[in-house]
Amino acid sequence: MIAQIERPALQPGLPAAELEKLLVERFTLVRDPRDQWDLTLIAPSHRIAEIAAFLRDDPRLRFDMLLDISGVDYLSYPNHRGARLAVVYNFKSTVLRHRVRLKIEVEEDALEVPTVSALFRIANWQERETFDQYGIIFVGHPNLKRLLNHHEFVGHPLRKDYPCQKRQKLSVNDPLIDQLEARLTAKGYQVLDRGQENKAAPIAFGVSPAGTSASQGAGGTVTTIDRPYAGSPAAQAQAQTPSAGNEGKQA
C-alpha cells in the first residue's frame, strides 16, 4: 500500500556556536583548532561515556546516532603536541538538524578509554575496529576482539609505526563458538554441552597493553577478552564495579 504523507518538518538544530557554548559550559570542553570546518570538541577521555549519554538524552541535543568511531595516530604529525593517539566520535541527530564530533586524546602508555557500547549498539563494533587498528582498549566492552584483521594478527596496522609492507602468517579460522555462546547466554539460554563439532579448544584472545608485538604468549599478559587488560589500573577499578554494558542488554 502506498500512501503520500506530509513530512513533519525537521527541527532545526542548535547552531554550532550555541552547541559549543552549551557543551563547553557543561563539561569544560575545548574546541579542536584542527577542525576549521565543523564543530569538534576535545573531551577528557575518562568522561566520554557521561558526555555521550548527555548528548544522546538531552532534549536540546538529541544526538541519538553514533555515526562512527575513528582513531588517529599523531606520531608523525608535524609540530604535534599532546597525546599520541586520539579517538573521534562522530554524532548526528535524527530529530534535529545538527552534528558534532567529540575527540578524546589517548596517551600511548594509558590506552584505556571507557566504552560507550552500552549507550549505542553500533559502538560495540566501532570500538572493536578502533581497538583492532590502534590498540585502544575500551574498558567495559563486552567483547573487545579484532574486527577487520585476523585474530592471530599481531600489532595495530593503522599506527604510523606499523610498516605498510609487513606481512604476517595467519592460519586458523576463528571458531566463533565463544561469541555464539555469549550471545545465547545473553538471551537466557544455558549452554550445557558444546557439542562434538565445536569441541576444538577455544582461542584465547590476547589484548596487548601498548600495541606492541607482544600480543599473545610473551609477557604472560594474555587475558580473556571480556575483561580489559588485566594489569591496568582501569581493570582493577572495573573489577570492583561490574560493567554496565553487555550484549544481553541489547537483546
Partner 1 sequence: MKVKAPNGETLDLMTLNLGPSHPATHGTLRLFTAIDGENVVGAVCEMGFLHRGFEKMVEQGTYSQVLPYTDRLNYCSAMINNIAFCKAVEKMFRIEVPERCIVLRVVLMELSRIIDHMVCVCTNLVDLGALTNFWYFFNVREQVYKIWEKLCGARLTNTVTRIGGMYRDTYPGFEQDVTDVLKNIEKAIGEVRGLIEHNKIFIQRTKDICAVSADDAISWGWTGPCLRASGVDRDIRKDEPYYGYENYQFDTVIGTTGDTFDRIMVRIFEMIESISITRQALAKLKPGPVNTADARLSLPPRNQVYHDMEALINSFKLVYDGVRPPAGECYDYVEAANGELGFLITSDGGTNPYRIKVRPPCLTQWAAFGPMLEGHMVADLASALGSINILAGELDR
State in angstroms the smallest separation of the CB of 5 from partner 1: 8
122 touches 245 (CB < 8 A):
no
Question: With left for phi above 0 and alpha for psi between -120 and 50, is residue 226 left, alpha or beta?
Answer: alpha
The residues, ordered by sequence, that sit 6+ positions from 40 with a Cβ below 8 Å of its Cβ are: 31, 32, 34, 88, 100, 101, 102, 103
Choose the binding region for partner 1 from 19-27, 41-49, 64-72, 212-220 (rule: CB under 8 A). 64-72
Cβ-contact 128, 183 below 8 angstroms: no
C-beta closer to partner 1: residue 36 or 171: 36
Considering the complex, what minimum distance in angstroms separates the CB of residue 56 from partner 1? Answer: 9
Cell of 212: 606492541
Round to whole Å and give the CA distance between 149 and 243. 26
Rounded to a whole number of angstroms, the minimum distance from the CB of residue 179 to partner 1 is: 4
Residue 148 near partner 1 by CB under 8 A:
yes
Q: Using alpha carbons, select from 83, 79, 99, 98 the residue that is nearest to residue 43.
A: 83
Angle between helix 16-27 and helix 48-57 axes, rounded to 10 deg: 130
Judged by CB under 8 A, the stretch of 15-23, 41-49, 88-96, 219-227 that binds partner 1 is 88-96
DSSP state of 91: E
Compare residues 40 and 232 and give the one whose CB is closer to partner 1: 40
133 belongs to the binding site for partner 1 (CB under 8 A): yes
Least Å from the CB of residue 246 to partner 1: 13
**Computed over its alpha carbons, how large is the radius of gyration of the chain?**
20
User: Residue 187 interacts with partner 1 (CB under 8 A)?
Assistant: yes
Is 34 among the residues that bind partner 1 (CB under 8 A)?
A: yes
Q: Tell me the per-residue interface mask from 155 to 184 with partner 1, x by CB under 8 A, - otherwise.
A: --xx---x-x---------x-xx-xx--xx
Q: Which stretch binds partner 1 (CB under 8 A): 106-114, 143-151, 214-222, 231-239?
A: 143-151
Nearest by Cα to 144 from 126, 122, 128, 123: 128
**Among 142, 147, 113, 112, residue whose Cα is nearest residue 129:** 147
CA 78 to chain centre: 26
By the criterion CB under 8 A, which residues form the site for partner 1? 2, 4, 7-8, 10, 32, 34-38, 40, 64-68, 70, 72-73, 77-78, 88, 90, 92, 94, 97, 101, 120-122, 124-125, 133, 146-150, 157-158, 162, 164, 174, 176-177, 179-180, 183-184, 187-195, 197-198, 250-251
